[in-house]
């Protein structure tokens, strides 16, 4: 039995599925990853200059402009076959989707209640209170960045988790709970270098789950996987769903 049919068989048998996605699934939609040697955003910009609280305090205008560029890139991208396949998987089985991605491609594809561990790029929040700032305020108060309506010392900032910041506690709690309750866990397009997200498959395995990795490149998780599908998710996931139907 090849890897696609083996994956399909496990998905059919599953009662609860946990899916962890990383930058690789969005790269298939043309969004540059942070760590790929050729296309990396970090290859052109240092993360300490753009994605830390210290960077924002030092040069908020630079950070704001860079994230405006990133938002434009994401807005121009479209969900791909892998995003759509995960929506279909959720129709067939009880599925919890946890993503490290800050784009909205899962949601635009139709995924509901995705757990966004690293925040959301299209959200804007107050740098002091972390309260959301709506689009009308931003339109009426231009700036690089605009002032915050929520605090006299606050500025508008992207609603993402920067290096050195804690993950949202509620999102992490929900992800950990899903890992302890699933019987199948999929890691899709994640480099498995960023914790605590990279620890979710191992947590699921310790609670008895079967683990499949879908990634063209090996990662630190590869040796622990029960099944490795070394293909892009946009090919592997639709193929697995088709094989499910054939069985």
In angstroms, the CA 117 to CA 98 distance is: 7
Please state whether 182 falls in left (phi above 0), alpha (psi between -120 and 50) or beta: beta
Report the 10 Å Cβ neighbour count for 8.
21
Catalytic residues: 118
- Do 156 and 126 touch, CB atoms closer than 8 A? yes
- Do 11 and 240 touch, CB atoms closer than 8 A? yes
CA angle 216–106–120, rounded 5-degree value: 105
3-state secondary structure of 151: coil
Residue 118 Cα distances to 114, 179, 197, 221, angstroms: 12, 17, 9, 20
As given in the structure block, the two tokens for residue 86 are 């995960």
Residues 74, 54, 148, 160, Cα dihedral to 10°: 30
- Do 200 and 98 touch, CB atoms closer than 8 A? yes
Local structure of residue 55 (DSSP, 8 states) = H
């Amino acid at each position: 039995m090849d890897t696609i049919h083996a994956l399909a068989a496990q998905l059919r048998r599953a009662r609860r599925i946990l899916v962890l996605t990383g930058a690789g699934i969005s790269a298939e939609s043309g969004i540059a990853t942070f760590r790929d040697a050729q296309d990396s955003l970090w290859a052109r910009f240092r993360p300490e200059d753009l994605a830390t609280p210290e960077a924002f305090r030092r040069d908020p205008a630079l950070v704001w402009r860079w994230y405006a560029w990133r938002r434009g890139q994401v807005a121009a991208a479209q969900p791909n076959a892998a995003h759509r396949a995960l929506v279909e998987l959720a129709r067939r089985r009880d599925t919890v989707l946890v993503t490290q991605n800050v784009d909205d491609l899962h949601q635009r594809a139709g995924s509901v209640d995705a757990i966004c561990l690293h925040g959301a790029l299209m959200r804007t929040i107050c740098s002091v209170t972390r309260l959301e700032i709506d689009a009308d305020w931003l339109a009426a108060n231009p700036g690089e960045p605009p002032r915050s309506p929520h605090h006299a010392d606050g500025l508008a900032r992207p609603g993402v988790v920067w290096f050195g910041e804690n993950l949202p506690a509620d999102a992490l709690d929900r992800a950990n709970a899903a890992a302890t309750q699933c019987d199948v866990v999929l890691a899709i397009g994640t480099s498995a270098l960023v914790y605590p997200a990279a620890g979710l498959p191992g947590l699921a395995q310790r609670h008895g789950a079967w683990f499949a990795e879908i990634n063209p490149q090996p990662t630190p998780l590869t040796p622990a996987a029960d099944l490795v599908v070394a293909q892009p998710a946009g090919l592997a996931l639709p193929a697995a769903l088709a094989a499910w139907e054939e069985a």
